Amino acid sequence: MIIAGNWKMNCDSRQAIKLVNEIIKSNDIPIEANIMIFPPSILIPVIFPLIKNTKIKLGAQDCSLNDNGAYTGQISSDMILDAGCEYVILGHSERRSMCKETSSDVSLKSFKAISKGLNVIICIGESLKEREDNSFLSILETQLSSSLPQSIGSQIEVSDFQITIAYEPIWAIGSGKVATNENIEEVHKFIKNCLNDYFENSIKIPVIYGGSVNANNSSQILKLNSVDGVLVGGASLKSDDFIKIAKNSL
């Protein structure tokens, strides 16, 4: 089970060190839990020395679709790898809405990140309006197919677990409104079917849920058959809650 903490734009270095040390020292995290943390990129070099001899994996919250050059404020896949990360989150709904990132940007970024050797977590999710007018499955299908790694004229070999899909309904993110078990099962099964159609050789692509996951609701969510883990925002900033979520993955 993947238990991924997306810290977003939170923590200074002192808080980050405290949070990571509390997670590392916990005896409650099951050995099977695949713990990943995604701090703000400026904190990655602070955290890497702490986690490098542990099972915790480190990732960035975004990457550039370019290799290097005049791209003020961006960081490349090579830089992310060089800093000790194995993962990158792409297409989070906050980047899609606030930075106007499109699925085609996400697709190019995921192509670049994978070809450099990073594993990607590609986020997709519908708005409240799309849920209410019942267009959400077709919206998600389009988002998924157009965010997967593609580059004009190039093919990419993808291996097991190199791509993870995070289903994060926008209306459930940071709102305290969690999707119901039925909502989650329906969408996760749908995503898995779409993925089976896209990748003929049926590579393993985990599908994880995100949106107001906390210490209380996580045990139910993690028990669902189609759920391979969770992407946790707010609750990943409190070590007790994050550890409890990991414990609930057993």
User: Which residues of the chain form contacts with ligand PGA (CB under 6 A)?
Assistant: 6, 168, 173-174, 210-213, 231-235
**What is the smallest separation between the CB atom of 232 and ligand PGA, expressed in angstroms?**
5
Q: Is 168 a catalytic residue?
A: yes
C-beta of 77 vs 212, nearer to ligand PGA: 212
C-beta of 110 vs 197, nearer to ligand PGA: 110
**What is the smallest separation between the CB atom of 235 and ligand PGA, expressed in angstroms?**
6
C-beta of 107 vs 214, nearer to ligand PGA: 214
Taking Cα atoms as reference points, which of 233, 237, 243, 242 lies closest to residue 212?
233
C-beta of 25 vs 214, nearer to ligand PGA: 214
**Of all residues in the chain, what percent are helix, strand and coil, respectively (each to 5)?**
45, 15, 40
Q: Considering 92, 94, 126, 188, which one is annotated as catalytic?
A: 92
- What gap in Å lies between CA 46 and CA 158, rounded to an integer? 31
Q: Is 92 a catalytic residue?
A: yes
Name the residue whose CB lies closest to ligand PGA: 233
- To the nearest 10 degrees (0 to 180), the angle between helices 103-116 and 136-147 is 40
- What gap in Å lies between CA 178 and CA 132, rounded to an integer? 15
Please give the single-letter amino acid code of residue 109. K
Strand 207-210, strand 163-167: pairing: parallel
**What is the smallest separation between the CB atom of 97 and ligand PGA, expressed in angstroms?**
11
C-beta of 196 vs 216, nearer to ligand PGA: 216
For 159, the token pair is 């291996």
> Who contacts 92 (Cβ-Cβ below 8 Å, separation ≥6)?
6, 61, 62, 123, 168
Q: Considering 94, 101, 126, 168, which one is annotated as catalytic?
A: 168
219 phi and psi angles, rounded to 5 deg: -65, -40
Q: Which residues are known catalytic residues?
A: 92, 168
